[in-house]
Amino acid sequence: MIRIMIALTLTIGYSQNQNITTMDCSDCHGEHSWLPLSNEPLFNHNTTRYTLLGQHQFADCIQCHIGNTVEEKHQFSNLSTECKDCHFDVHLEANGLDCERCHSPISWETSVSGFNHELTLFPLAGMHRLLLCSHCHNTDSQNWTSWLPTDCNGCHQSEISVSINAGNHPENTDCILCHNTWSWSPIDMSHHDILFPIYSGKHQNEWTSCTAECHINPNDYAEYSCGLNGVCHDHRQSEMDDEHAGKTGYVYESSACYQCHPSGSEHD
């Protein structure tokens, strides 16, 4: 069988190798017919300025090299390498043109992205790091840069309401006071020592219930008791008055106790 060796000279402009590239027809076409193109063309696309990666490796040539005439279909150097010129931008350019911030040639799924969420107003921590983007960002909106709430209420209102209505949770919604981003329970009060030591010092292992002992108003943790009149200590006013006799500024009030004893020790 006589092999067709007619060379088709194509001026495709600048490439990585040379200014003018001469390609054999057989690099892309079969010897029996021009179409369809060879299943395994000899032409190596990775020698061009657009290396095929991910799903692009499995695309048919004519999906990208389109035209109504033979000349148009062979204007290889005129093709754009911008994602938007081949793929419809569902974000309508609201997220910019740098698609690789969230996507890769392997998949449109953003779970494979290298997008750095730490640069946003809501750095991901704890369980938030394990979520798919679409869990928080409604893909129907087409605009993932639109404003989203950053407080717990914004995403977890239904869970909080169920607990409050069941009587298992105070109406206080400043979640970070008792919870962390890894889990709702058990509660996490490890940061409390910054305000008042309950995991160290005199109060270590002495408290059993936040709301029953120290925080007398479960809906406002700013209200607290330092154990006056036997709430958790036997600090009767008559005894405290005697112990603080002559002390400037002494008042039998919890706020005054905290001002003078911020670590809970009588020797502050």
Domain boundary among 38, 60, 83: 83
Kindly tell me if the per-residue pLDDT of 186 is higher than 50.
yes
Q: What is the mean pLDDT of the chain?
A: 77
- Residue 123 domain flag: no
- Residue 103 domain flag: no
- Residue 131 domain flag: no
- Residue 125 domain flag: no
Domain that holds residue 164: 146-186
Residue 26 DSSP class:
G
**Residues 199 and 259 placed together within one structural domain of the fold:** yes
Q: Which pLDDT band holds residue 231 (cuts at 50, 70, 90)?
A: low
Q: Which pLDDT band holds residue 11 (cuts at 50, 70, 90)?
A: very low
- Residue 252 domain flag: yes
**Residues 169 and 204 placed together within one structural domain of the fold:** no
CA 237 distance to own-chain centroid: 53
- In sequence order, what are the beta bridge partners of 228? 235
**Residues 73 and 33 placed together within one structural domain of the fold:** yes
For residue 70, the SS3 value is helix
Element (H, E) at 24: strand 21-24
**Residues 158 and 204 placed together within one structural domain of the fold:** no
Domain count, the chain: 3
SS3 content of the chain, % helix, strand, coil (to 5): 35, 5, 60
**Residues 174 and 210 placed together within one structural domain of the fold:** no
**Contact at 8 Å (CB) between 11 and 75?**
no
112 CB neighbour count, 10 Å cutoff: 13
Domain boundary among 32, 63, 83: 83
- Residue 195 domain flag: yes
Kindly tell me if the per-residue pLDDT of 62 is higher than 70.
yes
- Percent of the chain exceeding pLDDT 70 equals 82
Domain boundary among 66, 83, 100: 83
**Residues 194 and 268 placed together within one structural domain of the fold:** yes
**Residues 182 and 253 placed together within one structural domain of the fold:** no
The set of residues, in sequence order, having a beta carbon less than 8 Å from that of 95 and lying 6+ positions away, is: 101, 102, 143, 144, 145
CA distance 262 to 268: 7
The pLDDT tens digits for 98-122 are 888 778 888 777 655 567 788 778 8
CA distance 160 to 152: 9
**Choice between 235 and 126, residue whose per-residue pLDDT is larger:** 126
The predicted structure's pLDDT at residue 127: 92
| pTM, rounded to two decimals | 0.47
The predicted structure's pLDDT at residue 189: 77
The predicted structure's pLDDT at residue 2: 34
**Contact at 8 Å (CB) between 112 and 106?**
yes
93 CB neighbour count, 10 Å cutoff: 9
**Residues 208 and 240 placed together within one structural domain of the fold:** yes
What single letter denotes the amino acid at residue 99?
Answer: C
CA distance 69 to 53: 28
- Residue 105 domain flag: no
Q: Which pLDDT band holds residue 128 (cuts at 50, 70, 90)?
A: very high
What single letter denotes the amino acid at residue 5?
Answer: M
